[in-house]
Amino acid sequence: MLENMKKHIITTVLILLAVLVTVSCNSSANNDVKNQNDVKNQNDVKNQNDVKNQNYMENQNDIKENDRNKIGLSMGVNKNKLSIKQEEIEDISKSLNEFAIDMFKSIEKEVRTQDKKEDQNIFISPFSIFTALSMTNNGAGNSLREGMSKVLKIEKYDINKINEYIKYVTNELTKDSRNIKLSVANSIWQKEGLPVFDKFKTVLVEYYDAIIKSVNFMDSSTKDEINNWISEKTTGLIEKMIDRTGPNDVMYLINAIYFYGQWLREFDEKNTRSGEFITISGKSVKTDMMNKTEKYLYRRTKDFEIARFSYGKLDKETKTDGKEDKKEDKEDEKVFLTDKYVSMYILLPNGKNNVYDVLDRLNNDYIERAINEMTPRKLMVSIPKFKIDFGGNYKEILDNLEAMGMPTSNDFSNMTKDSGELSISSVLHQAVVEVNEKGTEAAAATVVEIRKGISMDIPFKANKPFIFIIRDDFTKTILFSGILKNPSEK
């Protein structure tokens, strides 16, 4: 990669736009958040090299390491060199972010209007969805690929460039040096005997680090095996997404992502106290509010206030004892202007705006402009502890993708020679997040199912619904998105 690539690469965003909703004032906030002791031991998060589960690789149906090398050589794949340019990475990240916002708006609108659940909390991972659909797109024929690329807003790039982008961004996200725990895993579960093209398998192994396994979808234990893989890759946060497999199932393409980050400056639990949160309907609910007065990056626009809360560790500890000497101010300034952290951005509606007004006007350019104009300010922060488990066992999002223009035709001629009656029958998604004094833990999984035969001290009091973004300030790509409407509801 070019030496200056890392200096100008766009952000890989974990956008966490989460919607928390209105419920009875009697709802207990104590059920929202597990104690930090319940957060799983982070030693369970393996290095990205462990993503290929050894048990799978030992199975005779898996692609063995020597088979990977053989296929890679035959297809001319060089996994150590990428031809993607800096400006292309920046442009694709922008497209991914635009897809992320459109996807989130579509799901939020469906939940609020069609499902009549205005109080439903929402949390998704656009990056997970994008990755799973990009894997699928490698098997699509020209007409289907064109339609899918249009929905993903990447139609001006060929699929090879998107594959390189995914590989580059995933490598950047999962670097140990980032002082967070973030893992991305991909897997392909194909029907036994399905004649899948070597080129398709090679691309998914080399660019997506995917494990590929042939299975019997008629065997009831197959769904358990798939669910166990998802659970392992999300450290148990997502335990069941597949409730059945059957004779018409041909392939499952799955992405799983896990994130854990401690606040750069943690909230003191002694300062957490019960407070009011005003829901979208105007009701007041009691919830635990975390409080801290500290210097953060901040900006006020005509529609919202935005503040950044970073994760990770400082290269050199910065004093936080409240002494206002020039040296400390200079260190603070350096810390908050350094774009190397993963961060949560909270977008708090101002004036007469509510969270829907902000969401309607939101686009990637607006977010980036607000972030670029942020400056260090001392804030009196008060934000709720909360937990969201969106999708229950899973959320079907295929209708949302179709509404955005994605076709589900049977053109999988780049996947298998037996592509005649294949179609995308389902796109399942589930995401969870927990925010407390120590930091944030989040996970998501996306399953694409292909079947046969089916088509000054500034008060920053987040005590009302808000949009929040967790973004990697180094690579600028949206990974999660949500809105918080009511912290006393999951």
Do 145 and 438 meet the contact criterion of CB atoms below 8 Å apart?
no
pLDDT of residue 418: 77
Split into its structural domains, the chain has a count of 1
Domain that holds residue 229: 41-262+387-455
- Pick the more confident residue, 283 or 17: 283
230 found inside a domain = yes
CATH of the domain at 49: 3.30.497.10
Q: What does the mean pLDDT of the chain come to? A: 79
372 found inside a domain = no
294 found inside a domain = no
CA torsion through residues 258, 261, 267, 268, sign:
positive
422 found inside a domain = yes
Angle, alpha carbons 371-335-332 (nearest 5°): 105
pLDDT band for position 361 (50/70/90)? very high
- Pick the more confident residue, 477 or 240: 240
Query: What residues does 300 pair with on adjacent strands?
Result: 305
Query: What residues does 377 pair with on adjacent strands?
Result: 296
Do 474 and 118 meet the contact criterion of CB atoms below 8 Å apart?
no
Report the predicted TM-score, pTM, of the whole model to 2 decimal places.
0.78
pLDDT (mean) for 98-124: 84
pLDDT band for position 475 (50/70/90)? confident
28 found inside a domain = no
- Pick the more confident residue, 22 or 366: 366
228 found inside a domain = yes
Give the C-alpha separation, 228 to 208, whole Å. Answer: 20
pLDDT band for position 297 (50/70/90)? very high
pLDDT band for position 419 (50/70/90)? low
pLDDT band for position 9 (50/70/90)? very low
pLDDT of residue 191: 94
pLDDT of residue 417: 85
- Pick the more confident residue, 114 or 281: 281
Give the C-alpha separation, 298 to 268, whole Å. Answer: 21
- Pick the more confident residue, 73 or 159: 159
| Per-residue pLDDT reduced to its tens digit, 205-228 | 999 999 999 999 999 999 999 999
Check whether 386 has a pLDDT greater than 70: yes
pLDDT (mean) for 349-358: 90
pLDDT (mean) for 304-329: 65
Reported as half-sphere exposure (CB side, CA atoms, 13 A), residue 44 has a value of: 13
Check whether 89 has a pLDDT greater than 70: yes
For residue 309, give the amino acid letter.
Answer: F
Q: Give the residue among 276, 272, 277 at the shortest CA–CA distance from 486.
A: 277
321 found inside a domain = no
163 found inside a domain = yes
pLDDT (mean) for 306-334: 62
Do 180 and 208 meet the contact criterion of CB atoms below 8 Å apart?
no
Q: Give the residue among 258, 277, 288 at the shortest CA–CA distance from 437.
A: 288
Range from 305-314, 404-413, 453-462 that averages highest in pLDDT: 305-314
